Chain A
Amino acid sequence: AQSVTQLGSHVSVSEGALVLLRCNYSSSVPPYLFWYVQYPNQGLQLLLKYTTGATLVKGINGFEAEFKKSETSFHLTKPSAHMSDAAEYFCAVRRYTGRRALTFGSGTRLQVQP
Chain B
Amino acid sequence: NAGVTQTPKFQVLKTGQSMTLQCAQDMNHNSMYWYRQDPGMGLRLIYYSASEGTTDKGEVPNGYNVSRLNKREFSLRLESAAPSQTSVYFCASSEVDAREAFFGQGTRLTVV
For residue B38, give the distance in angstroms from its CB to the closest CB of chain A. 10
Q: Are A43 and B103 in contact (CB under 8 A)?
A: yes
Chain A residues close to B by CB (< 8 Å): 4, 6, 9, 32, 34, 36, 41-46, 49, 51, 90, 94, 99-107
Q: Which of B42, B97, B102 contacts A100 (CB 8 A)?
A: B97
Size class of the B contact interface (CB-based, 8 Å): 20 to 34
A90 touches B105 (CB 8 A): no
Q: Which of A42, A46, A104 contacts B42 (CB 8 A)?
A: A104
B42 and A90 contact, CB distance less than 8 A: yes
Q: B96: CB under 8 A from chain A?
A: yes
In the bound complex, what is the Cα–Cα distance between A51 and B98 (angstroms)? 11
Binary interface encoding of chain B residues 9-21 relative to chain A, with 1 for a CB under 8 A from any of its CBs, else 0? 0000000000000
What separation, in Å, do the CA atoms of A105 and B44 have in the docked complex?
Answer: 9
Q: CA of A43 to CA of B102 in the docked complex: distance in angstroms?
A: 9
CA distance in complex: A99, B45 (Å): 11
Q: List 28 A-B contacts (CB under 8 A).
A: A32-B98, A32-B99, A34-B100, A43-B4, A43-B106, A44-B43, A45-B103, A46-B100, A46-B101, A49-B100, A51-B99, A90-B43, A94-B98, A99-B48, A99-B56, A100-B94, A101-B33, A101-B45, A101-B48, A101-B58, A101-B98, A102-B33, A102-B98, A104-B42, A104-B43, A106-B40, A106-B42, A107-B40
